[in-house]
Amino acid sequence: MKSWISAQRKEGHSVSGTVIKREAKAHAIRMNIHNFKGSCCWVANFMKRNRVFLRAVTSTGQKLPVDWEATMKKYVDFVTQHKDNYSLEHIGNMDEVPVYFDMLSKFTLDFQGSSNIRITTTGLEHSRFTVVLCMTASRIKLPAYIIFCRRTIPKFNHPSNVIVSSNEKSCMNATETLY
């Protein structure tokens, strides 16, 4: 389990006590150990034995690819070469931001000695939508584009200056871009 946690962290994956418990149970089944319970007490003792501590996340995001400088130069060269073929309103800078309906805090405050540090949720902590924002090189802000993670567009009154769409991955794709 210790090497599994180390590998997960090297990959930048978040590891929690629940994940440790689930993986330990799966590992026990693979080893034909059927009486392993993997209780919360076992997880706490495992963490203590192996010096695994609760830590606050200090940064998120993806690492740049190894060849990012060459890719960036290639893109800049392409834009420089073709900039006269396009007007500034046809060149844009776009970004997608996932927004969760219930964004849970990673930590909470409670009094010393409390044994159950619980927060309530709406049950929608995994449900999300994506907001896409874009601005053209001529400084025109395009309407916000909201993509829901579902098959159909939810029925609600939205502002006229917002475009609403849906797809199963809740991200911009070729179909959404053509709109």
Domain that holds residue 7: 2-49
In a domain, 69, yes or no: no
Q: Which two tokens stand for residue 15?
A: 């590891």
**DSSP three-state, residue 68:** helix
In a domain, 134, yes or no: yes
| Run of H or E residues at 106 | none
Predicted TM-score (pTM) above 0.75: no
In a domain, 20, yes or no: yes
Q: Judge if 35 and 94 occupy the same domain.
A: no
pLDDT at 74: 93
Q: Judge if 29 and 106 occupy the same domain.
A: no
15-45 pLDDT, tens digit per residue, is 788 888 989 999 999 999 989 988 989 988 9
Number of domains in the chain: 2
